[in-house]
Structure 1
């Protein structure tokens, strides 16, 4: 009896392993898991590291241990890391209006400049608590950029530098902590990374829901890029250019930020080894996948070809024509994702944060 029990148990185990091996794989789960580990988590940790360096830079600069150009470079790294994260704002960073704490855009009424000036008049001995309890307009990269780049702030003057440095350091600390908290929320035992990897869970009943969410944030980001280019071009102001509506216009990081965001979207599409959203396009729709590949290649090459200071491009008609052509490229890319790719993956896009703008 005893040997027979062992034999039956071994047979059952072998059969279970065989059935498991024969069980159909879930390509949506595999893609979601691969993108989480190889695209999303690395992007969030890179962003957190850029913010850590920016916070350290603010302290070094204010202690006269770093030059202004170095402080500006640290800001630009953080700005571009944030821009690259735009198509990946799934989960905690896309919730609770946290994105406003990182960047205030569009700033149609120069709220950044006005609120910074008002705050420092009201709180000349600014503390971290003052910033944490203040407006989101003051807590992020837009205010940091204002201090480092605006012509109204002469940081070569020691008294001016002493006045603005507490704000610079407070923003650096706020951004560093925010980014670290978000990464922790991703890496926690039941955090966002786990929820995008194993199904069902409290966020997603099945893997298809996770893929739908990933595509939605990508579509929202591409639509947002249209707004970031269209607003300064005057598409929302009867054709009158609005150069101060551009993202990161003070630091002239407008076009590099758009390129970083496109690179983030393309990483979600391609993955790191052919394991991105592209892998889920049905074989019979290979032509669609090719058109999306070409759209990314065309748009990003167009950016390379016009990578001049945005302020120069928008100042004359020929430059605006080139920027408008880039807008058309981004629009085509957005529509490919919103309609054809969504249909191919069985995703209902619905409304997004930019609808109605």
Structure 2
């Protein structure tokens, strides 16, 4: 027995769990994944019950899944980035205008009775996920289908595919990547050599998401003073451009608060100010960017968000002992 105890004492002790990573996983990742998988499952069920674009239940279920997406959209590392899962779930912006063409091709080539979930998973991301569903529900070029034609088949395949993808991402997090984050620095962890690297991954994801709002979610519809581009706004078809921005900002704040270690001085005042400004845009689809007053309001939100990102970078990096790593927007 004494020899066994002595041998155990020679084994490396597990590293102390990082409270920052624990908070991120327990307060953001786990609940966000649970809500998203539930919402996409409800969307699939609604499509089975009534696949028509005129179904209020289907539209409500899609809106619920869209809302839930923002709870995990800031996780720009791990399972969402493996196998293009992010693009499959939420391919936007569609800068090349691929989605309408791809949807039209799929619908034109449909044959009754040929629905195949496995084959659908080989389709381009432009016909899959939340934004393809938005087109099928709200784009007048596609939303006049009946229960017996290609549009219905596409909606049912796309919602089942989305639900399956959500469950795959959640499973990968729960069964693998959460442990990889929690055990950063352990001898067998080749992904994160220490807790600082794990913190840096989350911190970089937050700053990248803030930049995405500044450059894409707000910047695309703003265009230029001479050429505003309201038709490039996210959620324009469904009239939820402003809602998406508000949900995105709320998600950023939740992640930032989870990152703040005990005793840090970071406050939520900057987040609260930007969210207050966004909530008062009164511009559901950002069509107001074509009007000087509407444009000024959205530009003001963009300016405030840019300042917020600078403040978050300075305060969080100092509190966490990290710097921003490379991200998907570098070089854009």
TM, length-normalised to structure 1? 0.81
Corresponding residue for residue 273 of structure 1: none
Q: Does 1:48 align with 2:37?
A: yes
- What SS does the aligned partner of 2:71 have? helix
Superposition RMSD in Å: 2.5
More helix, by proportion: 1
Of 106, 129, 132, which residue of structure 2 is paired with 1:119?
A: 106
CA distance in 2 between partners of 1:109 and 1:124 (Å):
28
CA distance in 1 between partners of 2:174 and 2:284 (Å):
38
- What SS does the aligned partner of 1:196 have? helix
The 1:130–1:244 alpha-carbon spacing in structure 2 relative to 1, beyond 3 Å, is: farther
**Stretches of 4+ moved more than 4 A in 1?**
none
Structure with higher Rg: it is 1
Corresponding residue for residue 349 of structure 1: 324
Q: Does 1:173 align with 2:155?
A: no
Q: Offset of 1:186 from its aligned partner?
A: 1.4
CA distance in 1 between partners of 2:121 and 2:202 (Å):
31
Written as runs of structure 1 = structure 2, the 5 A alignment for 1:228-243 is 228-235=217-224, 239-243=226-230
Q: Does 1:105 align with 2:87?
A: no
Q: Does 1:265 align with 2:280?
A: no
Written as runs of structure 1 = structure 2, the 5 A alignment for 1:44-193 is 44-62=33-51, 68-125=55-112, 127=115, 128-155=117-144, 158=146, 162-188=149-175, 191-193=176-178
Gaps of 5+ in 2: none
TM, length-normalised to structure 2? 0.87
Q: Offset of 1:308 from its aligned partner?
A: 3.1
Corresponding residue for residue 302 of structure 2: 327
Q: Say whether the 8 Å CA contact 1:218–1:265 is kept in structure 2.
A: yes
Written as runs of structure 1 = structure 2, the 5 A alignment for 1:213-292 is 213-226=201-214, 227-235=216-224, 239-270=226-257, 276-279=258-261, 282=264, 286=265, 289-290=266-267
Q: Offset of 1:202 from its aligned partner?
A: 3.4
Q: Does 1:197 align with 2:182?
A: yes
Q: Say whether the 8 Å CA contact 1:81–1:260 is kept in structure 2.
A: no
Gaps of 5+ in 1: 271-275
Q: Offset of 1:340 from its aligned partner?
A: 4.2
